[in-house]
Every structure is written in structure tokens, then in C-alpha cells.
Amino acid sequence: MYFRQFYDTSLAQASYLIGCQATGDAIVVDPLRDPRPYLDVAAREGLRITHVTETHIHADFISGARELHAATGALLLLSAEGGPDWQYAFAAHDGATLLHDGDVIMVGNIRLDVLHTPGHTPEHLSFVVTDTPRAAGPMGVLTGDFVFVGDVGRPDLLEKAAKVANTMEAGARTLFHSLERFRALPDHLQVWPGHGAGSACGKALGAVPSSTVGYEKRANWGVATTTEGEFVRMVLEGQPEPPRYFADMKRINRDGPPVLGALSPLPLLSAAEGAAQLARAEVWPIDLRPAAAYAARHATGSLSVPYGRSFSTWVGSLVPVGAPLLLLAPQGDDAGALVEAARHDLLHIGFDGIMGWVDADALLTLLDAQGRLPAPLPQQPITAAAVRDGSLPVVDVRGRTEWEGGHLPHAVHIPLGELAERLHEIPAGAVGIHCQAGARSAIATSLLHRLGRTNAIDLQGGYAAWVRAASGT
């Protein structure tokens, strides 16, 4: 048996390729939208991808199951569990085979037993994997977003992200009973989860890529909690706010993601072409440069989201999914690679309308010559006198758990992902914006300037600097 985990750090997401080396058949589980990594590895190992499946209708990224099916002709296998509201709308069109609890998938000599494990989502499946020629029984279980290393899948996303009312507690109770099935599995089975640390699909995911059933029984709070009421309380408290694009991902993945096929490199636009795009109100210019460079010089209406691990999370949380984007990149020989990496991340959350990219310095030089460059982004330390004495209103854009752990006494709390819809709650006039250490406040201040609040000030250092100053350290 051949086994390979693929891990995308920007999404903290794991997908798997499992192949039968005797027959050359292989299956991919929970693929991302770009099929090339799976095709490349399969070709290198002498395998052909004959099956593709996923554990559930994903909420945090665009599924690649349909894309890989189109690229290979592989048999598409999709859950038929979860009731009428959570069926794949494209299954019949794509000739998918529907899976139920107790079904068996044979990929050459590799056996996958289908377990219905609802709770995180109603249709969720897990797959118990057996290498049948070894005659040693099952060796592992692909748990998707059901059981992670050190955590379990959150059952509140249907209510908080997909806006299906009054489903959190019922989902938590369903998850508890699914975990009873997990605890009944042999202790030696390896656990191959769908996410790792950094994912918003749980609250305490471990960074270790795999585990065992026996270890999770001992070390995973969700698996170890065997009282239903206590489990429901614990699994629902302290969950982070789901990124706002999750609702769109759930809908797109249920109805059928567009198949992209082969992609050409993103076009490099001239400064003049970029300036013309800035005039279109529907276009979102995304500035990939570091926050300090953006603060010094930036284009009116652009959003500062420096490229990094949380890049797609914040673009997806602040920009309507599907909106046309223009990427502004720093100068350098690696600018093209940076842009393609950003595009890769954005395509995985449904931003298919990226019109191109432009050299930010060339664009800003042109805008400066035309008298169209705005003033630098206002900044001041969070320890400034106006903040300390309360004369400058302050908005805290951290998450709710961070806020509850301590905050400035006179601050208004609006998490970054909610700024646009709660703009009316921001005090009039000059206002300071802060987060924990400064990264999110820079993004938030750029967003407020795009929305017309050009008196928003980025409070540098964040709450961490405020606490240090208060303690004298």
C-alpha cells in the first residue's frame, strides 16, 4: 500500500492519496482544488487515480473532488447521508456513486469501510482503511473534520456560518454519539485527520500530523469526555468566530464548484492598466506588501493584507466571495512567484475573478504623478496619551475570546470580520484601531479607509504593548 498525506499550511488542511501498488489503483480523499500535486505524485509512484472522495461538504475551502474527477475520470464517491438539505446537487450530473454507512470501497486491494460520523456536519463520513493482502485487519481511519489530534470537529458551524438556526446543541449531541463509535475502534488504528493547528474547524487542534485511536482516547478532551451534558457544554464554549466566507464555501461545495481546468499565469498589468482598474468601484485591490510599506504609500481604496499564513482567511472574511480582485505586489525577482502563491490560496476559497497583478511601486509612482496618492495611513502608539486618557475612542478588532481575556476599559469591541456590517457602531470622528500585536489592526484600518472612515488610526503595538506598559515591563 502506498500512503501520502498532503498538507496545505494556509488552510491547515490535510488530504490523502492511498494507492494499491499491486494494481496501480489509487484514491484521493479530501483533495484541494489544484489537482497537480496529486497527479504528479501518482505519476511518480506508478499509480493512476481511479477514485476520489471527501469526508463531507467542506465549509473552509473549495473542494477539489470535482476538479480531480474532471482531470482523471476517476470514480467520484460522495456522501448520501445527512438528510435532504445536505445532498450534493451535482452528484447525478457528474455520475457520482453515493455512499452510505456500512458501504465498502475497494481500490485495488485497499479496502475503505464507510462510517457515518455526523456532528460536525450532518453528512460527514469517516473511512476505515485496510490493506487486505496483509490480512492484519484495519490499520487506520481517515476522520476528516470529525476527530483531530487533540480536538474534535466543532458542531456550531451550521448555525454560525451557514445560518441554519437552532442546530448547535443538536449537532453537539449528535457528535457525542458519533464519538461513541470512534471509541469502539481498536486502539492501534492510526488517526489521519483533515486539519491541523490553525484551522477554524476546531478550537484546540494539535500540530502533530497523525495519532492513534488509543492515544486520542487518553489525550483528546472530546474523545475522553463521556458525559453527554458536559461534552455539549465544553464543545460549544470558546469556539472561535468562523471566517465569513465559510457560508459561501458550504453553498458552493454543495451545489458544485466550477471546474477550472488548466490555468495560465496571472497577467502582469502595466501601471496605467492597474490605475484604470482602481477606478472601478467593484474592484478590490489587495496590497500584498508589508504593512509598513502600505502605511507609507498606498492606493486609495486598496486593502492591506500582507501575504502570509492568514492571507486567505482575511481576504475571505472581508471581501465578498467572487468579487473581482487586483493584486498589488512588491518589487523583486520573486514577485511573480508571490502573486501565484496568493492566487493559489484565493482560488481555494472561491476567488476565481482575479484579473491580474501590478507592480505596486510602479502603480504608486504613477498615482503620485497624477496627484491621486492619499496621505499616509495614520498611526500612533497604543500607549499615546489620547488613548490612555480616553479622549480618543478605540475599537478593538480582536476575537471574542481575546476580548474576554482582557481589554482597554473604554474600547468598543468589533471583531475584524464584522467591521463592515457594524460600521455604524464605530464612534464618529477620529478613532483608534487595535488588535493583539498590530497585524489585524493594520488590515482593519485599511478597510475602514476604503469604507470612507479616513480618520481611523492604526494603534501600533496592540493590546500586548498596552499590557506591557501597564505592568512597567
Q: Cell numbers 489544484 correspond to what residue?
A: 34
Tens digit of each residue's pLDDT (9 = 90 or more) over 53-93: 999 999 999 999 999 999 999 999 999 999 998 999 999 99
Q: What is the DSSP string of 117-174?
A: --SSSTT-EEEEEEEGGG-S---EEEEETSEETTEE--S-HHHHTS--TT-HHHHHHH
Q: How far is CA 14 from CA 61, 176, 178, 194, in A?
A: 12, 23, 21, 5
Tens digit of each residue's pLDDT (9 = 90 or more) over 370-422: 999 999 999 999 999 999 999 999 999 999 989 999 999 999 999 999 999 99
Give the pLDDT confidence score for residue 244 in this predicted structure: 87
Q: How much is the pTM? A: 0.93
Separation between Cα atoms, residue 468 and residue 473, nearest integer Å:
5
Residue 142 has pLDDT above 90, yes or no: yes
Tens digit of each residue's pLDDT (9 = 90 or more) over 41-61: 999 999 999 999 999 999 999
Q: How far is CA 303 from CA 49, 222, 300, 324, 472, in A?
A: 40, 39, 9, 13, 35
Residue 159 has pLDDT above 90, yes or no: no
Percent of the chain with pLDDT over 70: 100
Give the pLDDT confidence score for residue 238 in this predicted structure: 85
Separation between Cα atoms, residue 309 and residue 327, nearest integer Å:
17
Phi-psi map region of 367: left, alpha, beta (phi>0 left; psi -120 to 50 alpha): alpha
Separation between Cα atoms, residue 214 and residue 221, nearest integer Å:
13
Tens digit of each residue's pLDDT (9 = 90 or more) over 275-332: 999 999 999 999 999 999 999 999 999 999 999 989 999 999 999 998 999 999 998 8
Residue 161 has pLDDT above 80, yes or no: no
Q: Which pLDDT band holds residue 241 (cuts at 50, 70, 90)?
A: confident
Mean pLDDT value across residues 142-161: 93
Residue 174 has pLDDT above 90, yes or no: yes
Phi-psi map region of 279: left, alpha, beta (phi>0 left; psi -120 to 50 alpha): alpha
CB 152 within 8 A of CB 174: no
- For strands 75-79 and 151-152, give the pairing: unpaired
Give the pLDDT confidence score for residue 160 in this predicted structure: 84
Residue 205 has pLDDT above 90, yes or no: no
